[in-house]
Structures are given as structure tokens and as C-alpha cells.
Amino acid sequence: MAKTRATPGDDRLRLAEGRREAVLELLLAQRAVTVAEIEERFGISPMTARRDLAELERQGRARRTHGGAVLPSTASHEDSFSARMSTATAAKRVLAQAAAATVEDGEALFLDSSTTAYHLAEVLCREDRRVTVVTNSLPILDLIAGSARDTIELIGAGGQLRRISRSFVGPVAVESLKRHWADRAFLSVKGIAPDGTLTDADPQEAEVKRVMTAQAGTATLLVDGGKLDRRGLSVVGPVSAFGEVLVAGAGPVEELEALLATLDLPQGVVRVLPCGPDEAG
């Protein structure tokens, strides 16, 4: 009996199935993927990447989000920028002041879309610091652009606006950031898992943070104590990628230090900053 020869259509089907399995492996490893990540890794078009994610969703193996996908069992919750501005404000202001004290005039800085970075931008404006700020945060852009002082050079990453975080994300924002190099990056995250994995609420936000970290000479993580032993939706990377970790919280310093000790970071990387009670506004 003559063997049935494989058709080009059969080959394409096997290729697509193999690629989707690889996308699923990436999703299982990271808990979230973006269309841009799939494009770059597999050399396919955005439309093909979206079709792959749609098929994985149809199979019940992924849940599509705006700009990517997450595991179907992963919960997603994110507070708006304005809501985050009214939480842990005392800790964020302490972090901002401590971070600003490490900045030297003439430096270029990446500031992410976190409210802690916004507080840092406020300090830089107030102190007339002569720096260059590169950011994807619309509130930070508005703050610095509207300042009566003009000592800060301002560069904005374009892209798609996420209204909930008031930040620019997506391929255009990522490509824009990759065209810049900064002396320092100041970022925050939604949570730090017990194994030191940094996570954020959205895969596109996480991607921007990864790029900023990679494009900076030194990256500083700014977190309030409430983010320890918490997880967000999307993996940003290991805490070991940061040269400095500043932590502030209203609780006893000893409790924060005990939680941080489990991360096994080199001595001198972590600084715990005491602060007063939380305040509104």
C-alpha cells in the first residue's frame, strides 16, 4: 500500500502546534506572556501570536488579556493610580526622600509608573535637581512638565496608554525605552514572593520594568513593607537583578528585616527605613 505523503498544510499544522506548546511552556514558566514577547521569541507576526493565544484559550490552557495572556487559574486585581496614591503614603515618601539622596546631578534616571516613583519625581522637582528623567508615567510627565522649575530634562516613552495605571506600555513604549540608557532606574512592584521573585499586576507593565532594569547602570527597588510576601499577576524578574533595595514600613524594623533575610541578598544591598503611621492623601 502506498504511503500517504504529508502535504504542506500538514507541515504548517505541526509547526503551529509545536509553537503553541512552546508558548504554553513560556506561559507556565512566567505565569503571563505578551504578544510582543511571542513575536520576538518565535519570529511571527502579531496576528499569528494572537491566533496562538486564542487557540490556547479555546483549549482552556490560557486566558487572554489585553496585549497577552495569563494562566487560566491566575487571579488579576489592580488598583487605579489614584487609589494607590492614597495607600502607604508615609512609606512611599520616606522611600522617595531616601532615593533622591542617592541621585547625583547630571544623571539620567528611569522612573516607572509606580506611585512611589511619582513621589520621587516630586522630590526631584522640589529640590531643583539637574537630572534627565525617562519615564512611561503620564502623571510624572504632567508633574515635571507643569513644574515652574526647568532643571529636569524630560523624555517620555510613547505607546499605548493604560488608563488604570496612567502609563504607556506595549511595543512602542518598549522600543522607545530600549533606545535610551540611564545611570539609574527606580522602580516598584506589586509584590515580592518568598523566593525573591518580583511580580506586578500586568504583563505589559512587567515588561516595561524589565527593560528599564536592563537598560540602567544600577537599578533600585523601592517597596513598602506591605509588598513583602505578596504576588502579583506577572513576573518581573529576580530581586537579585537590583543593586539596591529600599524598604519602608510602619511596622517594627525587626519584622521587615526578618522577612527580607529570607531573600538571601548580599550584605549591604537592602536598607530598611523606619517611617511613621500611614496617612491619607
Indicate if 234 and 268 belong to the same structural domain. yes
Indicate if 93 and 224 belong to the same structural domain. yes
Which domain, by its residues, includes 53?
8-70
Report in angstroms the alpha-carbon separations of 106 from 32, 103, 121, 130, 263. Answer: 37, 9, 15, 6, 33
What are the φ and ψ backbone dihedral angles of 160, each rounded to 5 degrees?
-90, 135
Residue 129 grid coordinates: 535637581
Closest CA to 273 of 222, 203, 215, 220: 222
What mean pLDDT value characterizes the chain? 84
Indicate if 36 and 102 belong to the same structural domain. no
Residue 155: give its domain's CATH number: 3.40.50.1360
Indicate if 54 and 100 belong to the same structural domain. no
Cα–Cα distance measured from residue 157 to residue 174, given in angstroms and rounded to the nearest whole number: 8
Indicate if 87 and 59 belong to the same structural domain. no
What is the residue type of 26? L
Indicate if 145 and 91 belong to the same structural domain. yes
Residue 123 lies in a domain: yes
Q: What is the pLDDT of residue 91?
A: 87
Report which secondary-structure segment, H or E, holds 145: helix 138-145
pTM of the prediction? Answer: 0.70
| Coil/strand/helix, residue 116 | helix
Query: pLDDT tens across 187-244, in order?
Result: 999 888 877 889 888 889 999 999 999 999 999 999 987 777 777 778 899 988 999 9
Q: What is the pLDDT of residue 271?
A: 84
Residue 2 lies in a domain: no
Highest-pLDDT range among 16-25, 92-101, 193-202? 92-101
Tally of structural domains, the chain:
2
Q: What is the pLDDT of residue 255?
A: 61
